[in-house]
């Protein structure tokens, strides 16, 4: 079972009227360019996000959790 399959059941799509509900995004460093990060999943619970990141780190990947509380807007 791949990492994505193991954590896939915990993924949650989040949204609310007028904005975005707070979420925790788990990202892994891209193998081609270490300064670029790829999204693995979004979680509504910080504990689930940290557990996902820990699993990825135990598998040898560089992972981080990013807290998102607002929609990105164009400048």
d(CA 69, CA 23): 6
Mapped onto helix, strand or coil, the DSSP state of residue 33 is: coil
Mapped onto helix, strand or coil, the DSSP state of residue 6 is: helix
Model confidence pLDDT, tens digit, residues 38-49: 999 999 899 999
Domain range annotation of the chain: 3-68
Q: What band does 21 get if pLDDT is binned at 50, 70 and 90?
A: confident
| Pairing mode of beta strands 37-43, 23-29 | antiparallel
What is the arrangement of strands in the sheet containing 63-68, beginning at the earlier edge strand?
A: 37-43, 23-29, 63-68
Q: Is the pLDDT of residue 32 over 60?
A: yes
Q: What band does 11 get if pLDDT is binned at 50, 70 and 90?
A: low
């Amino acid at each position: 079972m791949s990492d994505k399959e193991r954590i896939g059941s915990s993924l949650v799509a989040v949204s609310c009227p007028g904005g975005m509900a707070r979420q925790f995004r788990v990202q892994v460093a891209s193998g081609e360019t270490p300064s670029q990060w790829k999204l693995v999943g979004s979680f509504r619970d910080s504990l689930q996000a940290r557990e996902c990141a820990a699993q990825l780190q135990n598998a040898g990947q560089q992972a981080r959790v990013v807290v998102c509380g607002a929609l990105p807007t164009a400048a």
